Amino acid sequence: MTERKRSRRQANDSTTIIRDVGRLALSTAAQMRAVRAAALRTFILPAASTIAIAVRKAGADFSKSVSERNGTQTLPPPHILAAQAILTSIRDDPKIPGDIKTVTNAFLARGLTANEIGRVIRVCRSSKCFQRDWVRIELHLSSEISLVFEAVASAILAVGGRECYGDAPRGPLERAVSESLNSLD
């Protein structure tokens, strides 16, 4: 059995340490993007769509409630409010086909508590895209409500959205670290 050769380079100067830490950070970030792509479904949809507007409004309402409550009441997690906003906007949007509404309405009619919703809707996050007229929504719903998940995905496509596959591109911080590392070499 042969042993793996190890680098003979000594990591005793600050430039070498910074370079190694930067490379480790970039490697970890790339791995996290791959894991995230495997765990979440990502959609890009027009910012003017009813779904995107509902999610943004849910986030703004949550922020307002947090600032007003001063610790006097407990709020449900923001991802639950965002998911409820998506489901409600699907129900109310006339552009979305009836079969999709039937599935989401049946889920809404169950009247689940925030804790019960949190058990089946694990991630619901929206963020701005580089192009301001688009919004990114990341979702992960439990497999026990896969029919609801597919209905939500179909609704997003019905309002002009699209699903994104594969790893996300590097973000601004990763690009900056990479450029800094390249300048050290």
Of residues 134 and 63, more confidence is placed in 134
Q: Tell me the pLDDT tens digit for each residue of 100-125.
A: 999 999 999 998 888 888 899 999 99
CB 78 within 8 A of CB 126: no
Residue 10 has pLDDT above 70, yes or no: no
The sheet with strand 134-141 has its strands ordered as 121-128, 134-141, 41-46, 162-164
Residue with tokens 């001063």: 70
Token pair listed for 109: 């009619």
The reported pTM is 0.79
Whether residue 70 is predicted with pLDDT greater than 90 in this model: the reply is: no
Task: Say which DSSP state 140 is in.
Answer: E
**β-strand partners of 123:** 140
Please list, in sequence order, all residues whose beta carbon lies within 8 angstroms of the beta carbon of residue 86, skipping any fewer than 6 positions away. Answer: 51, 54, 55, 124, 137, 152, 155
Gyration radius from the chain CA atoms: 22
For residue range 128-143, what is the model confidence (pLDDT) as tens digits? 888 889 999 999 998 8
Q: Within a 10 A sphere around the Cβ of 42, how many other Cβ atoms?
A: 17
Distance from CA of residue 49 to its chain's centroid? 18
Phi, psi for 162 (deg, rounded to 5): -145, 155
- Banded model confidence at residue 9, pLDDT cuts 50, 70, 90: low
pLDDT at 15: 80
Q: Kindly state the percentage of the chain with pLDDT values over 90.
A: 52
